[in-house]
Amino acid sequence: MNEQFEILLEKEVNIDGATLIAAFPGVGLTSTIAANFIVDALKMDLVGFMLSDKLPPAAVVQGGIPLHPVRLYRKDKLAILLSDFALPIQLSKTMSDTLFNWNGSSKHFKTIITLEGLMTEPTQEPKEIRVFGVGSTDPARDWLKKAAIEIFDHGWITGVSGLLLSEGNRLGRDVVCLLADANAMYPDARSAAKLVETIDVLLPEIELDLKPLYEEAEKIEENIKSQMDKAKELLAARQVPASRMSKNYMYG
């Protein structure tokens, strides 16, 4: 039997037939921002944690309450596994086995959705964000096509998402990975909003108001743009004296 993470449940959870969204920090922190937004928007219940001596010994303090960094939330037929740290790539197999064989039960999630940021060139101006999808099985790919999500045709997907997809293909388990264009230079709330918007299409049974997330994205972008403008002004101010000094040395 493959090694797995221990799952400590605080409340009774029936995962059979449920959809799981798995979110680990990546490019632009898009997956983490998106998952946190869904948890808050749907007022999902904290129902459990993942434990292992291989995970970082840390606590995430929220509202004065210390929590484990890998947590499970649940509401109706939707569950979210949310991690506050990037999982070391060597633990991807352990996490994949844990999600496919939940507590050793014969029951399992109907579908697993993973979220990823797709690194793009940083720009100062907002641009259209694309979302791509990859499905592990024919039904998963058909689901993406019906939702009019562009298929990620070729490339590499590493870590937990990549292994869940390849193992899902081998085992005949439905896994979908959503990849959104993201800026790796700062937390990309607009990319996260696009992921949430796509999830809203894939899961019509949930209703999400994206306005707060897009407003947050605008605030972050305005702040970043202001910082970039100041940096350019500072650089230009420093270049003028340097240019004068070089001319003095050159011509005496």
Q: DSSP states of 161-193 as a string?
A: HHHHHHHHHHHT--EEEEEEEEETTS--HHHHH
pLDDT of the residue at 1: 46
Distance CA 70, CA 46 (A): 11
Inform me whether the pLDDT recorded for 21 exceeds 90: yes
pLDDT of the residue at 252: 44
Which residues, 6+ apart, have CB-to-CB distance to 125 below 8 Å?
none
Lowest mean pLDDT among 22-31, 58-67, 92-101, 215-224: 215-224
Position 245 confidence tier, pLDDT thresholds 50, 70, 90: very low
- For 203-220, the pLDDT digits (tens) are 988 888 888 888 877 776
Count other C-beta atoms under 10 Å from residue 193's C-beta: 25
pLDDT of the residue at 63: 85
Distance CA 10, CA 44 (A): 14
Hey, what domains does the chain have and what are their CATH numbers? Answer: 6-209 (3.40.50.10900)
Inform me whether the pLDDT recorded for 28 exceeds 50: yes
Which residue's entry shows tokens 């999630």? 109
Distance CA 25, CA 28 (A): 8
pLDDT of the residue at 209: 84
Average pLDDT over residues 48-56: 88
Q: What count of residues does the chain have?
A: 252
Average pLDDT over residues 99-108: 80
- Asked if 144 and 135 touch (Cβ cutoff 8 Å), the reply is yes
pTM (2 d.p.): 0.84
